[in-house]
């Protein structure tokens, strides 16, 4: 607070990885302090460095960093998940494209300590297929095969947010802005993968072949990424997310609903 001449610290959120405070600057403007928790600070620090590198283009602005504390732009709007849950998915999809275009704009001096995409997928390749429901093991096997094929045919490699989905995109007076990147590096087409299985609370929409086609059309037309690679990454990521959930003892109902549809769309692309 003294370092950045801040006043009136108000705790607003605690997540698995950080504490968030709203603070005031000069008694007028709001800002945010994000303090990383020690047990997850290493991974979160990668994302914080990447967020700083974005310099406010498509993402929340980081004003300064000190140790494991970020002094950031305050975003008090709702998430992009809200319009989707209110029936305005097409509008949200355009916003996702705008955000990704900002994040993927070429910039010099990319951070060096980013996690490679192959390492990110470790859980997919190391999971014992027997932890999957018997009727879904073929889905797991197919997704693994697609992921291996994607890694065997690399494309351009850029810094990636790595956890881009509707509820990690917030409204602001500067438009929609991303928060909480993971700090990855790899295929640009992977950036859209998590959008296909989000937002939370829109299960019927997520399990819609028409919606998968609409997302793919929009991303291909507005961002220029290869259709088959996007769908391949989406399927592989859904299986990866399922592996994470299974390891934590959580339900994989969402993943089991969307994965067969993504695999079918991939086959047809």
Same domain, 121 and 219: yes
- 76: pLDDT confidence band, cut at 50, 70 and 90? confident
Q: Is residue 91 part of a domain?
A: yes
3 state SS of 163: coil
Residue 224 lies in a domain: yes
Predicted pLDDT at 103: 98
30 and 85 belong to one structural domain = no
| 225/192 same-domain check | yes
Question: Could you tell me the residue range of the domain that residue 244 belongs to?
Answer: 81-268
Tell me the helix, strand and coil percentages in the chain, rounded to 5: 50, 20, 30
Band (pLDDT 50/70/90 cuts) for residue 130 is very high
- Co-location of 218 and 152 in the same domain: yes
- DSSP character string of 101-152: HHHTS--SS--S-PEEHHHHTHHHHHS-GGGS-GGGHHHHHHHHHHHHHHHH
Does one domain contain both 136 and 234? yes
89 belongs to a structural domain: yes
Q: Which residues contact 125 (CB under 8 A, 6 or more apart)?
A: 144, 147
Among 21, 38, 73, the domain-final residue is: 73
Q: Residue 169 is part of a domain; what is its CATH number?
A: 3.90.1200.10
Q: Clarify whether residues 139 and 195 are in a common domain.
A: yes
What pLDDT band is residue 42 in, cutting at 50, 70 and 90?
confident
Q: Tell me the pTM.
A: 0.94
Q: Domain end: 52, 73, 94, which one?
A: 73
Q: Where does the pLDDT of residue 30 fall: very low under 50, low under 70, confident under 90, or very high at 90 and above?
A: very high
Is 232 found in the same domain as 133? yes
Question: How many other CB atoms are found less than 10 A from the CB of residue 149?
Answer: 12
Confirm whether 1 is domain-assigned.
no
What's the mean pLDDT when you consider all of the chain? 95
230 plus 122 within the same structural domain: yes
CATH code assigned at 63: 3.30.200.20
Tell me, yes or no, whether 21 and 139 share the same domain: no
Q: Are 194 and 221 in contact (CB under 8 A)?
A: no
Q: With bands split at pLDDT 50, 70 and 90, how would you rate the model's confidence at 131?
A: very high
- The catalytic residues are 163
Q: What is the pLDDT of residue 59?
A: 97
Q: Of 40, 73, 106, which marks where a domain is finished?
A: 73
**CB distance 222 to 105 below 8 Å:** no
Q: How many domains does the chain have?
A: 2
89-103 vs 209-223: helix crossing angle, rounded to 10: 40
Banded pLDDT at 77 (limits 50, 70, 90): confident
């Amino acid at each position: 607070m003294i370092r950045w001449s801040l006043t009136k610290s108000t705790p607003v959120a605690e997540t698995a990885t950080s504490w968030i405070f709203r603070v005031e600057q000069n008694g007028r403007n709001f800002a945010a302090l994000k303090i990383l928790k020690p047990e997850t600070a290493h991974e979160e620090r990668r994302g914080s460095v990447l967020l700083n590198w974005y310099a406010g283009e498509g993402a929340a602005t980081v004003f300064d960093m000190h140790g494991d504390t970020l002094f950031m732009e305050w975003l008090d709007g709702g998430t992009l998940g809200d319009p989707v849950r209110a029936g305005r998915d097409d509008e949200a999809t355009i916003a996702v494209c705008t955000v990704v275009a900002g994040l993927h704009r070429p910039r010099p001096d990319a951070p060096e300590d980013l996690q490679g995409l192959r390492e990110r997928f470790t859980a997919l390749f190391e999971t014992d297929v027997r932890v999957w429901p018997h009727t879904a093991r073929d889905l797991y096997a197919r997704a693994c095969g697609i992921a291996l094929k994607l890694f065997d045919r690399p494309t351009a490699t850029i810094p990636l947010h790595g956890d881009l989905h509707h509820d990690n995109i917030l409204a602001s007076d500067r438009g929609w802005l991303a928060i909480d990147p993971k700090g990855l590096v790899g295929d640009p087409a992977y950036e859209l993968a998590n959008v296909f299985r989000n937002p939370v609370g829109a299960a019927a929409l997520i399990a819609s072949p028409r919606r998968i086609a609409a997302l793919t059309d929009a991303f291909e037309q507005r961002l220029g990424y290869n259709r088959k690679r996007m769908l391949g990454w989406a399927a592989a990521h859904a299986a990866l997310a399922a592996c994470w959930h299974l390891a934590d003892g959580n339900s994989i109902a969402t993943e089991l609903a969307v994965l067969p549809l993504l695999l079918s769309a991939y086959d047809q692309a």
